[in-house]
Structure 1
Amino acid sequence: MRLRANSESDPAVAFAFRGNKQRNQVPLLHPPSSTHNCSKLRTPSTLFMGLRFSSHPSPESPLGQLPESCVALIMTNMDPPQICQLATLNRTFRAASSADFVWESKLPTNYPLLLRRIFPDFPSDLGKRGIYATLCRVSSLDEGTKKVWLDRSMGKLCLCISVNGLSITGIDDRRYWNRISTEESRFGTVAYLQQIWWFEVDGEVEFPFPAGKYSLFFRIQLGRASKRFGRRVCNTEHVHGWDIKPARFQLWTSDGQYVASQCFLKGPGKWVYYHAGDFVVENGNASTKLKFSMTQIDCTHTKGGLCLDSVLVYPSEFRKVKAFLNHP
């Protein structure tokens, strides 16, 4: 049976389940021996195998007999969407899914620091499930120039910086750049380059990233998109100069990490995530400062027809599961 989160009965239970259709299978569970010893419940894959799920399991069924504490222990080994699916089975599973230690295991270890940075007046009486749900919502920072959130399915931190939070050479001269309103940006605005000799974009951010490995991307499109008769069209007639010399990307961190790369810009008419480099955060209890840049400063030719949307910082492991981060 395929389980579905009941968002009407409790939207908070289903929040991590929404928009994650690729994970709509709950691990099957094989019942342990006749006694429900929590110490024997090692992994979810060895527990629920062989049981048939029902939206109303009877008290006599194996699911109905599992103690709440054992169910909660099992859930610590599951992804948030799986927890929210199981919460719809019965009252025991629903109660277990609300246990603080279940959701604390899904939160970044430095979540108190994240809360102070993102929500100065965050309520202190909110449970761990509520904290997780709140951090998964996209929040704006620094006068709306940055957005931050936890990925619902993995609990990993993501950060996005708009063009208004970047330093762009010539951005205020309309001979070179224009700001364009669009629904294709999470900030509602992109910067469109008509033509320029010296292309340079710089930025920096200081944030308490949880410990882990991260990748930084520039989200760019060659061409200017619009809608005509309700259909998306992209004008690429002014795209030029990007196939002569490669663009150069650089990334620095406050603890001395540095990486540089270069590539030609390709794929007109679609948004591409250009990988600038990776960095590692060892200490999540302190802020990490990043500086980054994208340049094409060969003044032997002009370049133009480019849309710059944002700079994104994602966990590096996302490159294995999110195809859009790996352009050809």
Structure 2
Amino acid sequence: MNRVSGVSGFSLLPEGCISEIIALTSPRDAGRASAISSAFKSAAEFDSVWEKFLPSDYPEIISRSVSPVVYSTKKELYFLLCDTPILLDGSNLSFMLNKWSGKKCYMLQARELSIVWGDTPDYWEWTSLPESRFPEVAELLRVCWLAIGGKMQTQMLSPKTTYAAYLVFKLAEWNHGLDVPSKASVGFVAEGQEGAEDSNHTVYLKLATDRPQPLRGLRRRAARQPNGRLPQKRVDGWMEIELGEFFNDLGDEGEVEMQLNETQQGHWKTGLIVEGIELRPKEEK
């Protein structure tokens, strides 16, 4: 059977049967199916299709939203959760869906993180920014010991999924000491232990810039190439640095812990603005 006759054959099926077939695919495939024929387009709008793509616990999740979640169809709800983060639990947490897979994405706001000296006004200031999704962000005034961490229950995340954790931040117009290498880690918290079992890797919150030096002829000083992960610009205007990744199997690993530390070199630091730590499916666009 060629492709055209195959599509024509499917189009002869009742819309309910077509919708059941589409519900066994993915959100991305449902969008593609809509372009096949008018029958597929109509079937791909069914609530039963998008109910399958939403997390099974979505009613409980949206019941925790600080603002009403208004929608008329399950497809509308799905894309609402993909395009706009909703704040949960008194704005301590934000929730979104990955548009192509329907898997869960969370961000812990800065107040939910463990920040060494975070409650000491001489070292950190809690303020608000219009571009942040949360009511508060943490701005570093001055420390020589930077330590930020967060934890999340794995049962809250999508199962059978590789997640990555990202520190979401900005740099103030005047900042200092943030171009030194930091250690980042992500790992499960072993039962009976306070810390996670993990391995460290090097990250940079800011690229180092060399000061101008006297030059002779055409010789130029080579730029330093850091050996570690570098920050990336996000579509929402913030920066992020990947702290690490983990595989969430059945969500029964207890807690996963994310950490960023620079406690060895003793450099004074200032000008870091922390929005939170985000967990989202790895490399899913």
Alpha-carbon deviations, 1:234-290, whole Å to 9, x = none? x23xx22223x4111122214676242222321599632111111111114x57422
Aligned equivalent of 2:244 = 277
Match for residue 134 of structure 2 among 187, 190, 194? 187
Match for residue 248 of structure 1 among 183, 194, 200? 183
Alpha-carbon deviations, 1:4-44, whole Å to 9, x = none? xxxxxxxxxxxxxxxxxxxxxxxxx95325962x4xxxxxx
Distance in structure 2 (CA, Å) of the matches to 1:313 and 1:169:
21
How far did 1:80 drift?
A: 4.9
Q: Work out whether 1:160 is the aligned partner of 2:107.
A: yes
Question: 1:187 aligns to what SS in structure 2?
Answer: coil
Aligned equivalent of 2:97 = 150
Aligned equivalent of 1:296 = 262
Q: Work out whether 1:315 is the aligned partner of 2:272.
A: no
Match for residue 174 of structure 1 among 111, 121, 130? 121
TM-score computed with the length of structure 1 as normaliser: 0.61
Distance in structure 2 (CA, Å) of the matches to 1:78 and 1:210:
15
Match for residue 170 of structure 2 among 206, 221, 224? 221
Q: Work out whether 1:107 is the aligned partner of 2:66.
A: no
Distance in structure 2 (CA, Å) of the matches to 1:160 and 1:199:
20
Question: 2:49 aligns to what SS in structure 1?
Answer: helix
Q: Work out whether 1:202 is the aligned partner of 2:140.
A: no
Aligned equivalent of 2:204 = 264
Q: CA RMSD in A?
A: 3.8
Which sections of structure 1, spanning at least 5 residues, go unmatched? 1-28, 39-62, 225-234, 322-328
How far did 1:120 drift?
A: 6.7
How far did 1:171 drift?
A: 1.9
Maintained 8 Å contact 2:105/2:280: yes
Distance in structure 1 (CA, Å) of the matches to 2:271 and 2:64:
41
Maintained 8 Å contact 1:241/1:304: yes
Distance in structure 2 (CA, Å) of the matches to 1:242 and 1:311:
18
Question: 1:170 aligns to what SS in structure 2?
Answer: coil
Instruction: Tell me which of the two structures has the higher relative contact order, counting C-alpha pairs closer than 8 angstroms and 6 or more residues apart.
Output: 2
Distance in structure 2 (CA, Å) of the matches to 1:287 and 1:139:
26
How far did 1:305 drift?
A: 1.6
TM-score computed with the length of structure 2 as normaliser: 0.69
Aligned equivalent of 1:58 = none
Aligned equivalent of 1:306 = 272
Distance in structure 2 (CA, Å) of the matches to 1:257 and 1:302:
29
Q: Work out whether 1:139 is the aligned partner of 2:105.
A: no
Q: What amino acid is aligned across from residue 187 of structure 2 in structure 1?
A: W
Maintained 8 Å contact 1:80/1:106: no
Report percent identity of matched pairs.
25
Alpha-carbon deviations, 1:180-231, whole Å to 9, x = none? 3212222143211121122111221224211111000001223x2xxxxxxx
Cα gap change, 1:279 to 1:164, in 2 (>3 Å): same
Q: What amino acid is aligned across from residue 240 of structure 1 in structure 2?
A: H
How far did 1:100 drift?
A: 4.9
Distance in structure 2 (CA, Å) of the matches to 1:287 and 1:86:
39
Number of positions where the alignment pairs a residue of Structure 1 with one of Structure 2: 244
